Amino acid sequence: MSKLIKPTPTLTRRTLLGTAAAAAATPLLGRYAQAQSSEPIRIGFQVHRTGIGASYGRWYDRTTTAAVKRINDMGGINGRPVEIVAEDDGTDPKRGAEVVEKFATQHNCDIGFGTLFSHVVYGSAPRAGELKLPYFVVSEGHHVASGALNRWTMQPGITDVKSQVQAMAPFVANNLGKKVTMIYPDFAFGHDHRDYFSEAIEKQGGEVVAKIAIPPSETSFTKYFPKIPRDTEVIYHVMIGPAVLTFVKEMGEFFGPSKPEIFGFLDSLEAVDINSPGLEFLEGTYFWEGNPRYAQADQSSHDKMYREAVGVDENGASVSDAKDVSTYSHMFGCWETLNIIKRGMEAADYKGTDDRSNLIEAIEEMSDMPLSDDHPQGAKRFNGKTHQTFGHQYISKVDSGKLVLAHTSSIEDTLYEDEVDYTTQSF
């Protein structure tokens, strides 16, 4: 079933500036009076409410709702309110394509937005291209920038795995070890980690001594750990789905106090309390974070504002339930992508579906995006040719049961050569 969110509309900044004199003379000037249409801009939100992505979907939903409220409180987009039309794709590629089609043919959505899991992106993006529906994914796979998709698909608000692991590899090699065993999920997202980290660590004089792929539906992991070679210096883990707590606990039980160095992507602990019983062995280990879960000592005003807006406390949990831990390393992508869509629609003077290609072209013209309330995770650099954004990456250390920031990469650390130029493709 679809879910409609219809926030209260107000004047845009553009409308306020353009009609200040009229507003002064006419105090009862109606909201959106200067907009060409007061009809809402309808954004189809493809959300993983069920399936292995449900914990992410729950927080993607909360973040999207908060971002849309902020946008509407500021006047909407081009003087029009934003309305979210949410559909559950079950974290399933086939259902994902069906949801995209519903956005275009049943719900009359202007754009599609929100997909996280890479196999669902792969299943959905081709249909978006066929329907000429602008499709903004909030994933991390290298699928967009690799050139595997189409001009209608963009990933402007969150970085991809290739850039992340490229920025992490020097830290791992220089501080933890050079013989690495990788444990990753056996689908596109995990394969990106496998391929691009292997390449990146070799450039640092290291090597991946074992690659252990685990089915995403797996619920017990002990049988995989004996496959780890004895000469492993570092275990690199990135797991996802509802069994991540089991994975991390069983890894601790297997190694006990004689564990090698451990470097994980926080995907392995998204929506999981790091102080859960059985996770004590993580003390002193390191994690990549897309956005630091714990408010740091030098917390920016932008992160503080964002936490308050989405209802997350200084420990990364819901303000209403300390046991409800957020997916803080990923969900900022919804907030930032929606602000980019707003900026793009304003630049394109977007009025309706006939302007969809103009919207894509307007966003392709974007480049630097400074740290701000629109971009609270950090500054970004968007590449219009590859439809992919680049940004700072964070490495945190588990210290006294909290994740304490230990290293921040530069944007330059994450850049790589273009593999596609979508701007040369026709619409």
pLDDT, one tens digit per residue, over 304-342 is 999 999 999 999 999 999 999 999 999 999 999 999 999
Query: Are 131 and 104 spatial neighbours (Cβ–Cβ below 8 Å)?
Result: yes
Structural domain includes residue 196: yes
Cβ atoms within 10 Å, residue 127: 20
Q: Are residues 232 and 145 in the same domain?
A: no
Please give the sequence-ordered ranges of beta strands (E in DSSP) within 81-217, or none if there are none. 82-88, 111-113, 135-136, 153-154, 179-185, 207-214
pLDDT at residue 367 tops 90: yes
* d(C-alpha 326, C-alpha 291), whole Å: 11
Structural domain includes residue 103: yes
pLDDT grade, residue 257 (50/70/90)?
confident
84: which DSSP letter? E
Structural domain includes residue 300: no
Note down the domain range covering 387.
Answer: 3-159+330-391
The predicted pLDDT at position 217 comes to: 86
Structural domain includes residue 105: yes
**Strand, coil or helix: 225:** helix
Q: Are residues 148 and 268 in the same domain?
A: no
Structural domain includes residue 17: yes
Q: Are residues 272 and 202 in the same domain?
A: yes
pLDDT grade, residue 37 (50/70/90)?
low
List pLDDT tens digits, range 238-250.
998 888 999 999 9
Q: Are residues 237 and 340 in the same domain?
A: no
Q: Are residues 139 and 202 in the same domain?
A: no
Q: Are residues 151 and 210 in the same domain?
A: no
* Beta-bridge partners for 185: 214
End-to-end CA distance of the chain: 31
The predicted pLDDT at position 28 comes to: 30
* d(C-alpha 150, C-alpha 135), whole Å: 10
Structural domain includes residue 305: no
User: Total domain count for the chain?
Assistant: 2
Q: Are residues 251 and 352 in the same domain?
A: no
pTM of the model: 0.89
Structural domain includes residue 362: yes
Pairing between β-strand 207-214 and β-strand 179-185 as defined by DSSP bridges: parallel
Tell me, letter by letter, the H, E, C secondary structure of 262-317: EEEEHHHHCCCCCCCCCCHHHCCCEEEECCCCCCCCCCCHHHHHHHHHHCECCCCE
CATH of the domain at 236: 3.40.50.2300
* d(C-alpha 190, C-alpha 238), whole Å: 8
pLDDT at residue 154 tops 70: yes
Q: Are residues 400 and 346 in the same domain?
A: no
Structural domain includes residue 294: no
